[in-house]
Structure 1
Amino acid sequence: MIQVDELVKRYRATTAVAGLSFIARPGRVTGFLGPNGAGKTTTLRVLLGLDAPTSGRATISGVSFRSHRRGLRHAGALLDAQQAHPGRTAAVHLAALARSNGLPRGRVDEVLGETGLTSVAGRRVGAFSLGMRQRLGVATALLGDPPVLIFDEPVNGMDPEGVRWARSLFRRLAAEGRTVFLSSHLIGEMAETADEIVVIGQGRLLAAGPIQDLAGPSGSLEEAFFALTAGSVDYRAGGAR
């Protein structure tokens, strides 16, 4: 389970996250929505131990991600499709992560197969399209076979077949009892994939619950999203991430 409790994160004079609380549960795909500058990326970075909170907590299965030496067994994440070194092959990138996390070499072949990258495993990542890099990021997240999976804009750059594949994968992972947490700007895709939605604006919780409840009588998640966030759009440079 992912639990964020009264999370505050400030960068000097900027408050990126302001007392945010929510829960993402096992067996569900939870969507994470908000306008640009809402604080979604900052929340994910704190959750994964990349930034320290100013106050409050963000935990995975009740503990901070930083407390796990072999983090890929605890939670898998895709935050940036450009994270793999362009000079490495996909197989070498995954093998290095497997070694550092005490994972068997066989997991590399398994996740390459699961993400459709077996035929390009020996190709340098720098030659990959964005969609292929996204698949490699998903493979990295799956490598430790973790109970919690976190994805930031996972279908960006994917073709329609790739989007359909990703949607099916996320649903299957949740059906296996895992916690699947998706951050995205694609409201329509979220409506097709998520079971529950967390909406934030200016670092604060605006709404959370089953997608049917948030969509309301109209059944339109898009309409509900714009109504919720109408007063939370910040176009100023240097706002929250």
Structure 2
Amino acid sequence: MIEASELTKRYGGVTAVDGLSFTVRPGRVTGFLGPNGAGKSTTLRMILGLHAPTAGTVTVNGRPFRHRPRGLRHVGALLDAGDVHGGRSASAHLWALARANRIPRSRVGEVLDQVGLADAARRRIGGFSLGMRQRLGIAAALLGDPPVLLFDEPLNGLDPQGVRWVRGLFRTLAAEGRTVLVSSHLMSEMQNTADHLLVIGRGALLAEGSPDELRRSTRTASLEEAFMQLTADTGSAEAAAGGGADRLGGGKG
């Protein structure tokens, strides 16, 4: 379980995340929605200990993630599919991660097969398409067989078949009792995939509930309409500061 309490992150005069409190429970897919610059990526990075909160706390199964040795056994994450060494092969990239986290080498082949990259195991990542890089990032997240998984815009670059596969993967992971948090701007996919939604704007929680609950509460016909109504007056931290949050590390979300 992921629990955030009054989570806040400031970059100079820009507040990227503002007193954010939420719980992400196991056994369901939780969608994390907000306009660009709403604080989604910054929140994910604080969950993973990559950014330190200015105030508040966030824990994974009761402890800050940075206090957990061999992190990939506890949390798997896809934040940026392009953040890999292009000169390495897919299998070498995953083996480096496995070795650092004391994960058996056999898991490399297993996850490559799981994400459909077994035939590309020895190819250099620099020649991969964006969709293939996304699949490799998902393989890295699955490598330690963790109980908690975070995905930031995991559908970028995937073809319709790949999108359908990812949708099924997330549902399978949740059905196994794992905690699955997916940040996305694709309302149609969240409608089809997420059991529970967290909607934020300017780093603050605006609403949460199932897609049906959000539609009913806003008296709208679709999740997209509900989202637009909920976020209509929020804008983004970057817009409010002339793009400063992104330059200072606020990220795209």
Q: Tell me if TM exceeds 0.5.
A: yes
Alignment-derived partner of residue 16 in structure 2: 16
| Paired residue secondary structure (2:158) | coil
- Corresponding residue number in structure 2 for 1:165: 165
In 1, the alpha carbon distance for the partners of 2:32 and 2:235 equals: 16
Separation in 2 of the partners of 1:208 and 1:218?
A: 15
**CA deviation after TM superposition for structure 1 residue 219, in Å:** 4.3
In the alignment, the residues of structure 2 paired with residue 170 and residue 199 of structure 1 have an alpha-carbon distance, to the nearest angstrom, of 19
Matches within 5 A, 1:59-138: 59-138=59-138
Is 1:227 matched with 2:229? yes
> Runs ≥4 in structure 1, deviation > 3 angstroms?
none
| Other structure's SS at 2:76 match | strand
Query: 1:94, CA displacement in angstroms?
Result: 0.3
2:251 counterpart of 1:238: no
Query: What residue identity is the alignment partner of 2:230?
Result: L
Kindly provide the amino acid, as one letter, of the partner of residue 224 in structure 1. Answer: A
Which deviates more from structure 2 when the two are superposed, residues 56-65 or residues 230-239? 230-239
Q: Is the 8 A contact 1:32 1:198 kept in 2?
A: yes
Segments of 5+ residues of structure 1 without an aligned counterpart are none
Contiguous gaps of at least 5 residues in structure 2: none
Q: Deviations over 1:119-172 (max 9, x none)?
A: 000000000000000000000000000000000000100000000000000000
Match of 1:37 in 2: 37
**1:191 correspondence with 2:191:** yes
Name the amino acid aligned to 1:237.
Answer: G
Paired residue secondary structure (1:158): coil
CA distance in 1, matches of 2:182, 2:140: 16
Q: How many residues align?
A: 241
Whether the aligned pair in 2 keeps the contact of 1:88 and 1:125 (CA below 8 Å) is: yes
Q: Secondary structure at the match of 1:85?
A: coil
Rate the CA distance shift 1:15–1:187 in 2: closer, same or farther, 3 A.
same
Assess if the C-alpha contact under 8 Å between 1:212 and 1:219 holds in 2.
no
Deviations, residues 11-37 of structure 1 (Å, cap 9, x unaligned): 111111010001110000000000011
Q: Deviations over 1:150-195 (max 9, x none)?
A: 0000010000000000000000000000000000111111111000
The alignment's C-alpha RMSD in Å is 1.0
2:146 matched residue in structure 1: 146
TM superposition shift of 1:218? 3.9
Residues 42-95 of structure 1: CA deviation (Å, up to 9, x unaligned) = 100100010100110111111111001200000000000012200000000000
Give the distance between the partners of 2:212 and 2:61, measured in 1 at CA. 26
Query: Could you tell me the percent identity over the aligned residues?
Result: 63
CA spacing shift, 1:31–1:162, aligned 2, 3 Å? same
Q: Distance in 1 between matches of 2:84 and 2:135?
A: 12
Q: Do the aligned residues in 2 keep the contact of 1:70 with 1:101 (CA within 8 Å)? A: yes
- Report the Cα distance in structure 2 between the residues aligned to 1:214 and 1:146, rounded to whole angstroms: 30
TM-score by structure 1 length? 0.98
| Alpha-carbon offset, residue 210 of structure 1 | 1.8
Q: What amino acid maps onto 2:24 in structure 1?
A: A
Give the distance between the partners of 2:57 and 2:212, measured in 1 at CA.
Answer: 29
